Amino acid sequence: MRIDVVTIFPEILQAPLRASLLGKGIEAGHMEVRVHDLRAHGFGKHRSVDDTPYGGGAGMVMRPEPLFAAVEQIEGDPHVVLLSPRGARLDHDGVVRLARHPHLVLVCGRYEGVDERVSEHLVDEEISIGDYVLSGGELPALVLIEALSRYVPGVLGNEASLESESHAAGLLEYPQYTRPPEFRGWSVPEVLLSGDHGAIERWRKEQAERATRARRPDLLP
Ligand code: J9Q
Determine phi and psi for 139, rounding to 5 degrees.
-65, -45
Structure confidence at residue 136 as a pLDDT band (50, 70, 90): very high
Type of residue found at 108: C
Q: Indicate the range of 36-50, 108-122, 164-178, 200-214 predicted with least confidence.
A: 164-178
Pairing of strands 32-37, 2-7: parallel
Report, in angstroms and rounded to the nearest whole number, the Rg of the chain calculated over CA atoms. 22
Structure confidence at residue 27 as a pLDDT band (50, 70, 90): confident
Whether 7 is in the pocket of ligand 1, judged by its Cβ within 6 Å, is no
The whole-chain average pLDDT of the chain stands at 93
Whether 10 is in the pocket of ligand 1, judged by its Cβ within 6 Å, is no
> Average pLDDT, stretch 93-105?
96
Q: Tell how far the Cα of 106 is from the centroid of ligand 1, in angstroms.
A: 12
Q: Tell how far the Cα of 138 is from the centroid of ligand 1, in angstroms.
A: 8
pLDDT higher than threshold 60 for residue 164: no
pLDDT higher than threshold 70 for residue 191: yes
Instruction: Note the pLDDT of residue 163.
Output: 60
3-state secondary structure of 11: helix
| Residues 35 and 17 sit within 8 Å (Cβ to Cβ) | yes
> Average pLDDT, stretch 181-203?
98
